[in-house]
């Protein structure tokens, strides 16, 4: 992207451009990109004590329409990093989704994103991506070991020397790093310059995003329409903070994209959805198309791809930023371990688990897209059959797919997961993230310390790692724990192993680094 | 795991077949496709067994059985 074109981008907040650095300095970690993914990785590595340089081609936070829905798992990750409270406070909390069809006022299907209640974080919040970025930046600025370089654009990479060429408005300099994290978004310059593949599907449909401001009391729920009465194939309504609403209209493929965002063409859709009598103001109108694709590998020696640079999904499951933050969470503790002397092969498990996450997100969002935009006569007939049946017949409702919203991905097959030795009828399977619950005067997830931990039914003598005792009935029930049972929890709060009768020797057969 | 029953299992196959054809009487192709889909979804939910459903799908998509209708 040419630096001269940045002036057209709407701005949420400006930062002072940082002057170019001296040539050829060496760094431990350089993160390219200051989106939610690069920032989360920087905060995590920074809090673990590492020196990190973040390069962002912009010297501002962009204010355009991007992610708004952040899921439970992302909130748990940001909670571990101490930034979730601000997000939740500013954000709009929601758990319920409703699906409508045509002009019928009753939904044909409803879902609840927070299946297990009693957790610190809600099922979902809506928060403009720019607020999430600002809160992450605020937290990073408190860390003296993380340097944010605003207005620094990577223009070349030499993978032999792990050297980047970086341009500011006035200068060009180079820098080398032990590790380069390419968090430079969907049009990743690093991916292109390294000539790496990015395979997948492009969906032929245009979506009009109208972020508008109006004051009206409405339930804080995700509302989705199939065949809405005001036109278009589908539509979506979400509340954002500050009386801003996201209205999303599926327009079809053969449209004039420039005309579509003219206020006089947007207004009929907005009025159709919110009513003729509600005055509204434009925040930002845009049209987008989407793709589902990913790189074949995310780890290329000392250059690691995370977030949109590595994988893209259709937006209907809110899986883009959420999936990318999961990458940052998955990589940070592994890179921390390697920087502290662990074998670099641990990084390969990021490739393994990151691809597993991306594939599930791509699969789920492709399935949603195929339901929402049927590609053949028969596929449309099946879709319409489901919608027809759903109104009167409960059994058909689970087929209704208006986007399966982001939930954490499990890694039962991962090389870091120890399969169950015992038979379990409840609890949390190895390879899945720990689930929160109230514990003593706080929360279970808050009592994990960011390293490897044990959750146990009782105190364990001489344990070589911190033990959190689940001593109330509710906690034991959620984890299916008896007195002698234990769970081994990874630094990213995933369950690595569990036992019904635990002894310290059991740790040997796990990924825990003795 | 139970398998798909591929032996004859109906007392009045002609009657059932007629019921199936009657479902589509006077329908446009689009409406017919939709009715077939509804029927399949009803039955699939009743069977409630993805293994059996996949075995039926395999038969439906089998080149030998589908060659006859081309
Ligand atoms: C309309 C819309 C709605 C969406 N809704 C959701 C949602 O509700 N939930 C969800 O989870 N996701 C959603 N997404 C997807 C989400 O916005 C992205 O997945 C997310 O932004 C990816 O984060 P990232 O950090 O990987 O990349 P980006 O946010 O794209 O950040 C890339 C960063 O890299 C910097 N950069 C790029 N090139 C260079 C370079 N050469 N040198 C230096 N810096 C560079 C950029 O300045 C930027 O800071 C939505 C997307 C759109 C467009």
Query: What's the CATH code of the domain at A514?
Result: 3.40.30.120
Q: Could you tell me if residue A105 is inside a domain?
A: no
Q: Identify whether residues A44 and A159 lie together within a single domain.
A: yes
Q: Could you tell me if residue B13 is inside a domain?
A: no
> Residue ranges of the alpha helices (H) in chain B?
13-23, 29-47, 50-60, 63-67
What rounded mean pLDDT belongs to chain A? 95
Q: Identify whether residues A335 and A450 lie together within a single domain.
A: no
- How far apart are the C-alpha atoms of A297 and A348, rounded to whole Å? 10
Looking from the CA of residue A34, the nearest atom of ligand 1 is 49
Helix (H) or strand (E) holding A469: strand A467-469
Whether the pLDDT of residue B31 is over 90: the answer is yes
Whether the pLDDT of residue A302 is over 60: the answer is yes
Q: What is the domain count for chain A?
A: 2
Looking from the CA of residue A286, the nearest atom of ligand 1 is 1
Structural domain harbouring B39: 28-64
Q: Could you tell me if residue A219 is inside a domain?
A: no
Task: Give contacts of B38 with chain A, Cβ < 8 Å.
Answer: 385, 388-389
Strand, coil or helix: B57? helix
Whether the pLDDT of residue B67 is over 60: the answer is no
Q: Taking CB atoms and an 8 Å limit, are B38 and A378 in contact across chains? A: no
CATH number, domain containing residue A63: 3.50.50.60
Residue of B nearest to A384 (CA): B34
Q: Identify whether residues A305 and A423 lie together within a single domain.
A: no
Q: Is the CB of A316 under 6 A from ligand 1?
A: no
Q: Please give the distance, rounded to the nearest whole angstrom, from the Cα atom of residue A326 to the centre of ligand 1.
A: 14
Task: Give contacts of A389 with chain B, Cβ < 8 Å.
Answer: 38, 41-42
Q: Which among A324, A450, A326 is positioned nearest to A34, based on CA atoms?
A: A324
Structural domain harbouring A511: 411-514
Q: Could you tell me if residue A281 is inside a domain?
A: no
Whether the pLDDT of residue B64 is over 90: the answer is no
- How far apart are the C-alpha atoms of A174 and A176, rounded to whole Å? 7
Q: Taking CB atoms and an 8 Å limit, are B38 and A399 in contact across chains? A: no
Q: Could you tell me if residue B34 is inside a domain?
A: yes
Whether the pLDDT of residue B68 is over 60: the answer is no
For the stretch A31-70, pLDDT in tens is 999 999 999 999 999 999 999 999 999 999 999 999 999 9
Q: Is the CB of A317 under 6 A from ligand 1?
A: no
Q: What is the DSSP string of A39-104?
A: HHHHHHHHHTT--EEEEES-SEEE-SS---EEEHHHHHHHHHTT-HHHHHHHSEEE-EEEEEETT-
| DSSP summary character for residue A243 | T
Q: Taking CB atoms and an 8 Å limit, are B30 and A377 in contact across chains? A: yes
Task: Give contacts of A381 with chain B, Cβ < 8 Å.
Answer: 30, 33-34, 36-37
Nearest to B38 among A377, A378, A389 (CB): A389
pLDDT at B69: 46
Q: Identify whether residues A134 and A58 lie together within a single domain.
A: yes
Query: Structure pTM?
Result: 0.95
Which of B24, B29, B33, B61 should one mutate to test binding to chain A, selecting the residue with the greatest count of A CBs within 10 A? B33
Confidence of residue B70 (pLDDT cuts 50, 70, 90): very low
Q: Identify whether residues A309 and A416 lie together within a single domain.
A: no
Q: What is the signed CA dihedral for B38, B43, B48, B54, rounded to 10 degrees?
A: -80
Q: Identify whether residues A350 and A415 lie together within a single domain.
A: no
Q: Identify whether residues A63 and A136 lie together within a single domain.
A: yes
Q: Could you tell me if residue A345 is inside a domain?
A: yes
Q: Taking CB atoms and an 8 Å limit, are A396 and B29 in contact across chains? A: no
A–B interface: beta-carbon pairs under 8 A: 33
Q: Identify whether residues A166 and A72 lie together within a single domain.
A: yes
Q: Could you tell me if residue A341 is inside a domain?
A: yes
Distance from CA of A231 to the nearest CA of B (A): 21
pLDDT at A242: 94
Nearest to A382 among B29, B37, B42 (CB): B37
Task: Give contacts of B50 with chain A, Cβ < 8 Å.
Answer: none
Q: Is the CB of A74 under 6 A from ligand 1?
A: no
Here the tokens at position B16 are 């059932």
Q: Could you tell me if residue B43 is inside a domain?
A: yes
Q: Taking CB atoms and an 8 Å limit, are B34 and A386 in contact across chains? A: no
Q: Which among A133, A141, A241, A257 is positioned nearest to A207, based on CA atoms?
A: A257
Q: What is the domain count for chain B?
A: 1
Q: Identify whether residues A157 and A45 lie together within a single domain.
A: yes
Whether the pLDDT of residue B62 is over 80: the answer is yes
Neighbour-count burial of A256, counting CB atoms closer than 10 A to its CB (0-12 exposed, 13-18 middle, 19+ buried): exposed
For the stretch A69-125, pLDDT in tens is 999 999 999 999 999 999 999 999 998 999 999 999 999 999 888 767 899 999 999
Confidence of residue A373 (pLDDT cuts 50, 70, 90): confident
Strand, coil or helix: A341? coil
Confidence of residue A474 (pLDDT cuts 50, 70, 90): confident
Distance from CA of A382 to the nearest CA of B (A): 5
Q: Identify whether residues A23 and A156 lie together within a single domain.
A: yes
Q: Identify whether residues A421 and A342 lie together within a single domain.
A: no
For the stretch A235-282, pLDDT in tens is 999 999 999 999 999 998 899 999 999 999 999 999 999 999 999 999
Q: Could you tell me if residue A243 is inside a domain?
A: no
Pocket test for ligand 1, best of A13, A31, A33 (most atoms within 8 A of CB): A33
pLDDT at B66: 56
Confidence of residue B52 (pLDDT cuts 50, 70, 90): very high
């Amino acid at each position: 992207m040419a630096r001269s074109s940045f002036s057209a981008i709407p701005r949420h907040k400006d930062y002072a451009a940082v002057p170019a650095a001296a040539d050829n300095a060496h760094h431990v970690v350089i993160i390219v990109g200051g989106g939610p993914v690069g920032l989360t990785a920087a905060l995590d590595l920074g809090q673990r004590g590492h020196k990190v340089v973040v390069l962002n081609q912009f010297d501002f936070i962009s204010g355009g329409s991007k992610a708004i829905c952040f899921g439970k798992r992302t909130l748990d990750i940001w909670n571990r990093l101490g930034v979730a409270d601000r997000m939740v406070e500013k954000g709009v909390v929601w758990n319920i989704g409703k699906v409508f069809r045509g002009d019928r006022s009753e939904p044909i299907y409803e879902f609840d994103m927070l299946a297990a209640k009693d957790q610190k974080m809600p099922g979902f919040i809506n928060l403009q991506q720019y607020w999430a970025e600002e809160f992450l930046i605020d937290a990073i600025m408190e860390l003296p070991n993380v340097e944010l370089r605003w207005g620094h654009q990577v223009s070349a990479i030499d993978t032999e020397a792990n050297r980047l060429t970086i341009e500011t408005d006035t200068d060009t300099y180079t820098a080398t790093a032990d590790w380069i994290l390419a968090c430079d978004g969907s049009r990743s310059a690093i991916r292109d310059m390294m000539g790496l593949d990015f395979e997948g599907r492009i969906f032929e449909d245009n979506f009009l995003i109208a972020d508008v401001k109006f004051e009206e009391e409405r339930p804080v729920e995700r509302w989705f329409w199939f065949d809405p009465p005001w036109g278009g194939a589908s539509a979506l309504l979400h509340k954002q903070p500050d009386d801003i609403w996201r209205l999303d209209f599926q327009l079809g493929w053969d449209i004039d994209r420039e005309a579509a965002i003219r206020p006089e063409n947007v207004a009929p859709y907005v009025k159709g959805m919110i009513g003729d009598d509600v005055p509204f103001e434009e925040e930002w109108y845009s049209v987008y198309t989407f793709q589902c694709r990913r790189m074949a590998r995310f780890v290329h020696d000392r250059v690691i791809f995370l977030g949109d640079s590595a994988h893209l999904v259709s937006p209907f499951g809110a899986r883009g930023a959420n999936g990318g933050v999961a990458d940052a969470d998955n990589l940070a503790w592994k890179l921390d371990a390697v920087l502290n002397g662990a074998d670099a092969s641990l990084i390969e498990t990021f490739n393994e688990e990151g691809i597993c996450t991306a594939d599930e997100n791509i699969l789920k969002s492709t399935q949603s897209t195929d339901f929402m935009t049927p590609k053949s006569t028969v596929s449309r007939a099946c879709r319409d059959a489901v919608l027809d049946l759903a109104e009167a017949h409960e059994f058909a409702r689970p087929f209704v797919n208006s986007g399966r919203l982001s939930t954490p991905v499990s890694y039962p097959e991962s090389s870091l997961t120890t399969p169950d030795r015992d038979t379990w009828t409840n609890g949390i399977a190895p390879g899945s993230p720990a689930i929160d619950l109230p514990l003593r005067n706080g929360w279970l997830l808050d009592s994990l310390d960011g390293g490897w931990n044990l959750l146990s039914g009782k105190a364990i003598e001489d344990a070589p790692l911190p033990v959190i005792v689940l001593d109330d009935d509710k906690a034991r029930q959620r984890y299916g724990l008896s007195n002698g049972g234990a769970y081994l929890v990874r630094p990213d709060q995933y369950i690595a192993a569990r036992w019904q009768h635990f002894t310290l020797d059991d740790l040997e057969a796990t990924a825990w680094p003795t | 795991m139970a398998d798909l029953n591929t032996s004859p299992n109906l007392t009045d196959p002609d009657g059932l077949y007629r019921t199936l054809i009657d479902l589509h009487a006077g329908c446009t192709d689009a409406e017919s496709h939709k009715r077939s889909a509804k029927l399949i979804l009803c039955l699939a939910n009743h069977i409630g067994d993805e293994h059996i459903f996949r075995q039926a799908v395999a038969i439906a998509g089998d080149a030998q059985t589908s060659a006859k209708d081309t």
